[in-house]
Structure 1
């Protein structure tokens, strides 16, 4: 307004003031001085006019116009002008605008407001301060079609094309928006997550600019992770959709629920597949249901008794009792199942593998609730019941009769079956659970028994038998080890005396060879003598035994002389040889005659008796 006063005063001065000026100013001619004064006053007025006409909007802000002097006033209940009325105007001045509008700043006021910035992973919750009233029973404005979303952000189009007042079903996706904050209020809610969001702060964009306050508002996107589906419960209903109720069942005798088509008010029959969705949390409540295989464990929650057996060096048994408490883990579905068999109390741990199928997820949520409600209300109680029924009932097992023929018999369940017939028990429980699972929309895939807490008295005899068997095996192993050690020591001693053994072995072999040689020589000598005797016998038969005897004697003498020729050198043989067969004195005469002959070397006289 000050600039308007300056313009008026400057114009008046330019017109009226020269009349009161002296005819001549010092140093200036009279006409020239008046002209210069008028020019200066006109420049002053022009400067003041420009100051009221220049419009300049920074690049990171938007200009919201409030007209001070409009053609008419706004109607009752109307906040934003669309036809030049006095008040906030629907049209805004975009960021980075520079223009000259005569006396714009005189006729209007300009609010410089920030651009609305929606970060990734969140959406902007929009509330319209003006627009058509909501129909009775409707809590949120109708959603704008995706193709008209940009028009929805134009305040003038919004107000002139049926935009409704109040909380909008449509939301702002991540981005930067030059909104008319006189019409729209935008909130972005951040919930503390211990990562990138450290506080529960809301960013609020309105006529006060950007402010923050601490509220539990959450405008994060709806994220359906892999291995899950999202079941939507809607509190709004879109226009132009047939919303006839659909009665769905998991099984002929299973859960039943009333569902609606997508876009209708109620639980949608079609669940959301894994993805990110910009759903207004004020209108849609999404329940995540895992379609992955889930393991439910029954563990802990009992006190176990033990009887420890010890064996002394004499083989005598001593026993002592102790107890140990097992608490239920925080991540287990429930504690171990307490059952009774043959009058004994048995604590049974187990693991069940279950899965909710995607097509049954909406029925399960509508009839029971989320994943935890299904486990707590249906699966866990059913498993506990069927385990008790199987353990307290009968099972079918294979056994051999007296003839060795295998057959299937039905008999009561025994305590030791938890050790010896585990697959049979698991199969019996699984078959019963699968029937209940189909009714509840849950696929029970596997039952695996864990630790069976059997009273220690039942295992005492078996433990004694096992210890006795182990003692027997230990004795046999020790005996075998002792024998092996003796063999090893014998082999070591044999190795140390190897040279003596080789010598002795060679001696034995040499003696055996000599024995064989002498036996062979004896056999040869015997054969020789036998042949010689046979020859002598034949000779005796021809020559007579006496002649043969003399021949043998001569042969022996000749053999001796041949072997020892030195005998002949020193032998004094007779010089006279007398032969004859008479009884006369020829021999004596020859002897005496030789004595009287001269010379020791004379030839002997041969006297032959005829």
Structure 2
């Protein structure tokens, strides 16, 4: 108002001075007389110029009230102060022509509106920025009253969102006052902050469904136009060991069931959200993540483990030492080990269970008990413990074996009471029996039991000692047999090595044996020839003795041997020549004298180097 008043006064003064400068000039000339006509003209022109200056100043002051400049990152908001139409009762934001906060906002740049700074109060507010990974939660402070039974305005379709975010369009086209299901996705928005209150903080993150999970939606609002009908749905039953797809049916008294609704209706949606990012208003939707990956539940620890160690000394005596340790329950375990009673013994059994939730069964899991953790704690863990105790402590179906432990042919099976050692010898049969029963229980809860594996049972050592001692004795016996065989083999190896080392001598010995055999045969032949010779010689000597007499024959034989010896060893001749005198013997016809003469002559001739002289 001050700018308008000041501008108007300035214009009035300027007009007065401008229109009065002509008449003032005539008056000045008349008063000055003919002597000063120039001075009078100059005085009139000065008042005209001053008047134009006042007019220009007044127009500038009025123009200053008729334009607005808005920065690029701001939104110009208007509050009308002067108007003939009052704001209707119950409304906060005014339409054009009404007093109060205006629905119209000003964008960036200059805006020329007559007397805008007079008729309105101008306020610049920043843009609405929604960062990545968050959404803007919108509340409208004005609009049509929300219908009964509705606590949140229905979502606005994407093709109408830009139109409805215009405050004037929102008010004229029936936008509802109050919390809006519609959210603002990441980006910048030029909104009327008098109408829309936008919240962006740590409570408005986007809904992220990671890989290996699904999101089960519990909706508090309904989308207009969607036909909603509740359907009672149960988990997929087990048929032939396999789960069939989930079907809409009347649930049995044993299976979990929950009413599910189509997407866009109030209640739990029967279609879960697959992995991805969703900008969903948390005041309208509650999303529960369900892990659809294979989960491992361990039943482990919580008992005293006893064991006996067997050892063998150098003499082959078996010694046993008992030890014990407390097995704690790991923090990651689903529960402690299961205690079963078999043949009067309390035996802790550790086991591992692999479970998985099918995505189509996730709404049933959430709607029935709240989630996989609740299924584990309230339903499956107690059921698994019960089934393991029942199966382990009752009967088992095992293959028939022969007396030597081999499987009977053809294969046959028998059902008998479970024994303690079956936890070791027939563990697979126990696992299969437990799995077949617990799989049915799991499917009732919407969970697929993939596998059950029993761990090493903590069997009392009193049961295992005889078996262990027998096994150790058998192993020792086998060890002795193998050691004996090894020693025999070693001896054979050493013998072969020694034989190889003595091979040259063996060859020489073999050759010597062969030579000795040849010599034996040769001597045998020589002996036979000598015997034959002697026999013939004896015959000749007997004939000679018959002619000459035995004495002369003996003499001749002796002489012959002496001569033969001298022939072989001539050195004896010199010796004999020194012992026997050179005597000339004349034969008297007796025979002995002639032989003596011959011998003496031979000796003499040998000594002198000439032939002996003999006289007949």
Report the counterpart of residue 531 of structure 1 in structure 2: 529
Task: Tell me by how many angstroms 1:506 deviates.
Answer: 9.1
Q: Secondary structure at the match of 2:286?
A: strand
Separation (CA, whole Å) in 2 of partners of 1:411 and 1:34: 131
Pair 1:562–1:307, CA change in 2 (3 A): closer
Which runs of 5 or more residues in structure 2 are unaligned? 33-37, 238-250, 546-552, 598-609
Which has the higher mean CA deviation after the structures are superposed, 131-140 or 23-32?
A: 23-32
1:77 equivalent in alignment to 2:90? yes
Q: 2:122 aligns with which of 98, 102, 110?
A: 110
Change (3 A) 1:298 1:508: closer
Residue 41 of structure 2 is aligned to residue 36 of structure 1: no
Residue 401 (structure 1) shift: 5.3
Cα deviations by residue, 1:270-312 (Å, 9 ceiling, x for unpaired):
1111111111111111111111111112223x34264767989
Indicate whether 1:231 and 2:216 are aligned: yes
Cα pair distance change 1:527/1:473, threshold 3 Å:
closer
Shift of 1:151: 1.6
Deviations 1:503-554 (A, max 9, x none): x999999899778766754653442243244245456667974389888767
Q: Determine the structure 2 residue equivalent to 1:438.
A: 443
* 1:279 correspondence with 2:280: yes
Checking the alignment, whether the CA contact within 8 Å between 2:15 and 2:52 is kept in structure 1 is: no
| Counterpart-to-counterpart distance in 1, 2:539 and 2:311 | 99
Partner of 2:258: 257
SS at match of 2:331: coil
The reply on whether 1:268 has 2:265 as its aligned counterpart is no
| TM superposition shift of 1:247 | 2.7
Deviation of the 1:248 alpha carbon? 2.0
Match of 1:240 among 213, 219, 225: 225
Equivalences for 1:350-499 in 2 at 5 Å?
Answer: 350-400=351-401, 406=408, 407-459=412-464
Q: Which moved more, 1:247-256 or 1:287-296?
A: 247-256
Aligned in 2, Cα 1:549/1:108: closer, same or farther, shift over 3 Å?
farther
TM score, norm. by length of structure 2: 0.76
**Whole-Å Cα distance in 2 between the matches of residues 469 and 529 of structure 1?**
69
SS in structure 1 of the partner of residue 528 of structure 2: helix
* Separation in structure 2 between the aligned mates of residue 33 and residue 148 of structure 1, nearest angstrom: 64
Question: Secondary structure of 1:29's partner?
Answer: helix
CA separation of 1:531 and 1:464: change in aligned 2, threshold 3 A: closer
1:152 aligns with 2:150: no
- SS at the partner of 2:58? helix
Query: For the structure 1 residues 104 and 395, does the alpha-carbon distance in structure 2 shift closer, same or farther, using more than 3 Å as the test?
Result: same
TM-aligned CA deviation for residue 320 of structure 1: 7.1
Matching residue of 1:45 = 58
Aligned to 1:334: 335
Moved more, 283-292 or 529-538: 529-538
- Asked if the contact 1:350/1:450 (under 8 Å) is kept, the reply is yes
Q: Would the alpha carbon gap of residues 452 and 510 (structure 1) be closer, same or farther in structure 2, given more than 3 Å must change?
A: closer
Structure 1 length as normaliser, TM-score? 0.76
Q: Which whole-Å deviations, capped at 9, do the CAs of 1:3-22 have from their partners, x for residues lacking one?
A: 22321221122133576999
Stretch moving more, 547-556 or 136-145: 547-556
Instruction: Work out whether residues 15 and 55 of structure 2, in 8 Å CA contact, stay in contact via their aligned partners in 1.
Output: no
C-alpha distance in structure 2 between counterparts of 1:168 and 1:311, whole Å: 79
Aligned residues: 548
* DSSP-derived class of the 2:350 partner: strand
Q: CA deviation at 1:374?
A: 1.5
How far does residue 27 in structure 1 lie from its aligned partner after superposition? 12
Residue deviations 1:379-430 (CA, integer Å, cap 9, x gap): 1121111112112311122343569873422222233333333222211111
Structure holding more helix per residue: 2
- State the match for 2:7 in structure 1: 7
Equivalent position SS for 1:91 = strand
Contact 2:234–2:257 (8 Å) recurs in 1: yes
Whether the aligned pair in 1 keeps the contact of 2:399 and 2:407 (CA below 8 Å) is no
How far the C-alpha of 1:79 sits from its partner, in A, is 2.5
Question: In the superposition, relative to structure 1, how do residues 519 and 553 fare at CA in structure 2: closer, same or farther (>3 Å)?
Answer: farther
| Worse-matched range after superposition: 169-178 or 150-159 | 150-159
TM-fit CA distance, 1:369: 2.0
Q: Does the residue aligned with 2:457 lie in a helix, a strand or coil?
A: strand
Deviations 1:29-88 (A, max 9, x none): 312321231232223223323322331111111111222233522222232233332222
State the shift of 1:237 in Å.
Answer: 0.9
Check if 1:182 corresponds to 2:194: yes
Summarize the alignment of residues 306-325 of structure 1 with structure 2, pairs less than 5 Å apart: 306=306, 325=326
Structure 1 unaligned regions, length at least 5: 191-217, 589-600
1:307–1:460 CA contact under 8 A, matched in 2: no
What does residue 162 of structure 1 align with? 174
| Contact 1:49–1:102 (Cα < 8 Å) also in 2 | no
